[in-house]
Chains A and B, each alone.
Chain A
Amino acid sequence: MSDETNDSLKEFDKKLKAAGVGQEEALDEKERGGAGPAFRMATDLVAALVVGVGIGLLLDYWLGTKPWFLIGFFVLGAAAGMLNVYKVASGFGYAAGYKRQNGVAVEPDDELEK
């Protein structure tokens, strides 16, 4: 393809962008503000608690140590729920790791990469 056609394509792309074509991100923005993230955080908080309690109940059932694992994992589940909310709120996305969605790592990462 010659440079000329490339240039005219770029020109066309500019025009398209100016006209607002390909602005699908608008939906994403809508999710970010308002009730969307709040609802996400709420489900994340509860989901972790459910998993914690579930693991606790199962371990108690298997090992016959009622109610100790339930109590322990309830606390851990609550902590994991808080962690989920913290991650969503501070822009880590939904990763279990500590990497920001846009690929910029946070400072503590530097220590790990030795």
Chain B
Amino acid sequence: MAAGAGPLEQFKIKNLGDLQIGSYDISFTNSSLMMVVTVVLIAAFMIFGIRRQLMVPGRFQSLVELSFKFIEGLIDDTIGKEGRRYLPAIFTVFMFILVGNLLGMLPYQFTFTSHIIVTFVMAAVVFVLVTILAIVKHGMHFFSFFVPPGAPLYMWPLLIPIEIISYLSRPISLSVRLFANMLAGHTLIKVIAGFIPTLGIFGVAPFALVIGLTGLEILIAFLQAYVFAILTCLYINDALNLH
């Protein structure tokens, strides 16, 4: 490892190709590259997996069906049957985050989910679409969402702003959760790995720790994709069935 490559070096955005539309800089970066790779990988996996739709699935078809069934079960549990029509959206979000996280676990790869702007945009899209869904479905009744049941009228001016702030904090906590987990995990591994050469023979201890942490990080990669997906489900459920 080159000297001066600090633990935060891995999160650096590198410009791969300049591109500009109007006054906006939309250059192709290593982050964009990883997103494209992720999308291509998912598409290839899905298409390859279901190229022959066998009654008794082969290995890849089995994997595709497993991941699909997993999200289907998640939706059935949290939203119910009417949530099935949102399956493509939730499945896409889940796979995109999962594969992005896992690709970031490969050595020398960039983790795009460790940038708050990426996770925030995803959370904001979910948030805005869910809010529109709720307003379309319930009209003005949607705003009763912000009134705590059973609260006396004179408390409303205080409680409604609190409920609205609580509602607006959803995309922030959703994005921060994913971003902070990825950022902290990758930084931690790098910092501890940095102890290995400096400790000489005792470097075995941090080396063992890094192996353990890598396993933990793979678990977190799954867990965070799952959490993002389940929260999306819960938000859609809220939008469909207001209290």
Contacts and interface: CB of A to CB of B under 8 A. Distances in A.
Interface string B176-198: 11001100000000000000000
Contact of A80 (B145, B169, B177): B169
Most buried by A among B78, B173, B230, B231: B173
Contacts of A93: 234
A97 B169 contact: no
B243 interface: yes
B65 interface: no
Interface in B138-162: 145-146, 148-150, 161-162
Contacts of B237: 95
Of the four ranges (under 10, 10 to 19, 20 to 34, 35 or more), the interface on chain A belongs to 35 or more
Most buried by B among A51, A55, A106: A51
Interface residues of B, number: 36
Given A27-B226, A43-B176, A95-B243, A84 B166 contact: yes
Give the dominant DSSP class at B's interface: helix
Contacts, number: 104
A98 B243 CA distance: 7
B235 interface: yes
Interface string B102-114: 0000000000000
Given A51-B168, A80-B162, A98 B148 contact: yes
Given A76-B162, A83-B163, A84-B173, A94 B242 contact: no
* 8 interchain residue pairs of minimum CB distance: A108-B150, A97-B243, A47-B173, A80-B165, A47-B172, A48-B169, A47-B169, A112-B149
Interface of A: 22, 24, 27-28, 30-31, 36, 39-40, 43-44, 46-48, 50-52, 55, 73, 76-77, 79-81, 83-84, 87, 93-99, 101, 105-106, 108-109, 111-112
